[in-house]
Chains A and B, each alone.
Chain A
Amino acid sequence: MRLVLREALLTFRRAPLLSTLSVTTIAFSLFVVGLFGLVAVNLQQALREVAERVEIVAYLLPGTPIETVTLGVQDIAAFPEVQSATFVTEAQALARARGELVEFRDVLRELERNPLPASIEIKLKPTLRDADHVNEVADRLKGFGFVDDVRFGRDWVEKLDRLRQIAAAVGLVVGTAFAIVAIIIIGTTIRMAVLQRSREIAIMRLVGATDWFIRMPFLLQGAIKGMLGGLVAVGLSFAAYALINRWLIQAAFFSREQALAIVGFGTLIGLIGSATSVGRHLRRV
């Protein structure tokens, strides 16, 4: 095992140029994937922020006894889709209106009677903030006797849904395409490394090295190159992110898990790429 590791590392010393080339190729391929990933991450973040504002408001009939409302709020909060249900009294509604609608402050102050109804504000769980669930919850709310009217931005929720679907579809297609291109480029680079050592492989076979033994250093080396490439790609993505953040717009970066996933993906591609090219080479000779 120590020998396998040594052989794998020796390649970097024996063929520094080709090794650097492989790592750079892997890094830039993954960098492109990473940049796209950054766009996806930020788009998702933006959509999540928008979705955060998806809210359903149930206006209550005037004069509903407080006990009924409290029970109702408990019922609604127990809906599987619901994250929170908050009771807003008429007085609270008025106070809020006064605070928010500064232009009408005078009008609101001079009112003899509070025209605003009490309401229950409902927030759905983050993953369920789509048109279907919103509609369903709204329908169920209408079934409560003390509910006068249910409001939510229907158009808006539906548009958000569409946007989410488009983003997911584009993400899947473009992301897959980038990943495939990266795999092909990386595979070719590793194939060059194998061909460069074909003489050595031939001699190893001749003196009776097992296929496993011949394969291992390449797999290890491929994995190391993939990992280095992944690390460089994350570094480049971070640089790009820092630049964008500084000069263009406030953006989000990958979470630690996502960054690790990129490095892991690089390692995996390096491993698979070398496994297939060594395998093909061994079968051919």
Chain B
Amino acid sequence: MIKFISVFKAFPKGGLALKDVSFHIAKGEFAFLTGHSGAGKSTVLRLIYAEEPVTSGEVRVSGYNVAEITPREVPMLRRRLGIVFQDFRLLEDRTAEENVAFALEVTGARRATIPARVSRVLTQVGLAVKAQAYPRELSGGEQQRVAIARALVNEPTVLLADEPTGNLDERATRGVFQLLRDINASGTAVVMATHDLDLVRQAPYRVIELQEGALVYDSEVDEARDQAAGP
């Protein structure tokens, strides 16, 4: 599904954002990307959705070799991904419903199918009653749900979330996290970058930790090795 093989990423002004990072996230998996700010979490995500070019190494995402992707293929790759950010990135002059529909309209979905698909995902994220509300009329948690609905409406195979709870209070955080777990339970892989260790400890998911651009811990690999070594 997502495969990094010795990936290096140089900063434009010199220095390395990622150093020799390799991991593999399987279909339907839930993985945390952890580490301090600047450790390279967002860079990993940006490489996955081809926002930045790979300096060296191989990045494979849902059948695409992102290191060699052409500009024409980038939109097609992104239609298979759902992306959610800390700052929601909603359009202020559109209602919740219109924000979600926007993702379908601009990717050329059949018009007749749009209202039904939008109302289905809004129901899924628990915001059906606020479909007509503008972002400013919604709480942070609700805005993030709209953003998640927008990410889901194209039925992605992977949901990428970059600090999705970073701007939320504890209650909203729990709600959004639960929503992401539900989405994962229904078969969508989720990669969530976060530095909220409480959240990470709450769930038995895979943890990939980055430090200054290097992968320092991968629960799957390290736990397997620990078990193999025996007590």
- CB pair B91–A199 under 8 Å, yes or no, is yes
Instruction: Give the A-B contact count at a CB cut-off of 8 A.
Output: 47
- CB pair B154–A207 under 8 Å, yes or no, is yes
Which single residue of chain A is at the shortest CB-CB distance from B78? A208
Q: Is A213 engaged at the interface, CB distance under 8 Å to the other chain?
A: yes
Q: Is A52 engaged at the interface, CB distance under 8 Å to the other chain?
A: no
- CB pair B106–A204 under 8 Å, yes or no, is yes
Q: What is the CB-to-nearest-CB distance from B134 to chain A, in angstroms, rounded to a whole number?
A: 13
Which residues of chain B from 89 to 111 have a CB within 8 Å of any chain A CB? 89, 91, 93, 102-103, 105-108, 111
Give every chain A residue within 8 A of B105 (Cβ-Cβ).
3
Q: Is A203 engaged at the interface, CB distance under 8 Å to the other chain?
A: yes
Which residues of chain A from 203 to 219 have a CB within 8 Å of any chain B CB? 203-211, 213-214
Q: Is A200 engaged at the interface, CB distance under 8 Å to the other chain?
A: yes
- CB pair A203–B91 under 8 Å, yes or no, is yes
Could you give, for residues 31-61 of chain A, a 1 whenever the CB lies within 8 Å of some chain B CB and a 0 otherwise? 0000000000000000000000000000000
Give every chain B residue within 8 A of A200 (Cβ-Cβ).
91
Which single residue of chain B is at the shortest CB-CB distance from A282? B71
Which single residue of chain A is at the shortest CB-CB distance from B83? A206
Give every chain B residue within 8 A of A206 (Cβ-Cβ).
49, 78, 83, 89
Q: A207-B107, A210-B72, A213-B106 are in contact. List 16 more A-B contacts (CB 8 A).
A: A200-B91, A202-B89, A203-B89, A205-B75, A206-B83, A207-B78, A207-B102, A207-B103, A207-B150, A207-B154, A208-B78, A208-B81, A209-B75, A211-B75, A213-B108, A214-B106
Q: Which residues of B line the A interface, CB within 8 A?
A: 49, 71-72, 75-79, 81, 83, 89, 91, 93, 102-103, 105-108, 111, 150, 154
Q: Which residues of A line the B interface, CB within 8 A?
A: 3, 14, 199-200, 202-211, 213-214
28 residue pairs A–B, Cβ–Cβ below 8 Å:
A3-B111, A14-B93, A199-B91, A200-B91, A202-B89, A203-B89, A204-B102, A205-B78, A206-B49, A206-B78, A206-B83, A206-B89, A207-B79, A207-B103, A207-B106, A207-B107, A207-B150, A207-B154, A208-B75, A208-B77, A208-B79, A208-B106, A208-B107, A209-B75, A209-B106, A211-B71, A211-B75, A213-B108
